[in-house]
Structure 1
């Protein structure tokens, strides 16, 4: 069973990573149209009930994109004193505005306490969303809040390999990039710069 901290981390990162390098030196947006949000939600069946039948509307797309801008602004703040993702550096929301947007989105769906008490363990409580207007953005915002206030935030980094715009969770002390391909690009770029200067 997936721990709620892991779920929050994965959802928060996956939402932020809908902004990505397009393979041609630019930035692509997986949430550029309602079909993109529909596909993203369907790929994350634990986000909303009946995710397989989910169809995004323009208003919901706009709300999720606004939430994502807040998330990336707060991720940029979380990686300080490191630099934010190059995709965000010139257009970050002010942190107080990002916090306000995130909190407003989280409040769109009320939650209720749900008791769990299995054999061999004591009682525990978790919060469950009550279906309502703004459910998708509320669930995402609550996951982001869980991530930003949890232990994984300390390992959040922005990848600074050439052309990368991703954030990632640092898995080991020497990790500098989000994936091996980014490390290779960074080494090739450094090699090119060294040899360009000596030519």
Structure 2
């Protein structure tokens, strides 16, 4: 979800891409504390493109999950085919061979971790992003994935309760304002556009 959410509403009616530049990609990677080596990794253009490629595959597969509902409007017009997205995601996940390792310190509960023979932190990062996507898409939360269709929103979200329609309250506010404007537009002449709601 974090990777898919690097495409978001920019607050001014457009779409922002946190991975559009090498600098932005580095900033995003370093904020991902759960990824291997992310805290100190500095991106270059090749790594940025590899991360974006995984994101494109993830968002295409998210669109498949929410179907027949409409996908996010951010990339609905340029989604890669689902079979290509599957191939790319699986190829990225397969770049790193990992083995589960059991750790069991005295007087503590056992835990599992993945051990890698891969030395390149860039390969480990891309593979970890792909594995996380595989885990999500094959897990139970997939059934609750939705695309937010509030005006100007481009996010996917996990539906947390039965009546949830939007990713966050501000999107619900924008949707209600837009519906009210549409209902009253025909009743008045020279109507003005709906007021701007901050995300």
Query: Normalization by structure 2: what TM-score?
Result: 0.87
Match for 1:72 among 49, 59, 71? 59
CA contact (8 A) 1:112 1:129 kept: yes
Q: Quote the RMSD (CA, aligned, Å).
A: 1.7
- Map of 1:124-163 to 2, 5 A cutoff? 126-133=113-120, 134-163=123-152
Q: Distance in 2 between matches of 1:75 and 1:129?
A: 28
- Map of 1:112-123 to 2, 5 A cutoff? 112-117=99-104
Does 1:28 find its partner at 2:20? no
Quick one: higher RCO (CA 8 Å, sep 6+), 1 or 2? 1
Could you tell me which residue of structure 1 aligns to residue 6 of structure 2? 18
SS in 2 for 1:59: helix
Q: Distance in 2 between matches of 1:78 and 1:147?
A: 11
Q: CA deviation at 1:25?
A: 2.1
Could you tell me which residue of structure 1 aligns to residue 175 of structure 2? 186
Q: CA deviation at 1:124?
A: 7.0
Q: CA deviation at 1:130?
A: 3.5
SS in 2 for 1:14: coil
Query: Normalization by structure 1: what TM-score?
Result: 0.87
Aligned length: 185
What do the CA deviations read for 1:79-131 (whole angstroms, capped 9, x no partner)? 1221100112111000000000000100111101212457687x775533443
Could you tell me which residue of structure 2 aligns to residue 8 of structure 1? none
Structure 2: gaps of 5 or more residues: 189-199
Distance change in 2, residues 1:191/1:129 (3 Å): farther
Which protein has the larger Cα radius of gyration, Structure 1 or Structure 2?
2
Structure 1: gaps of 5 or more residues: 1-12
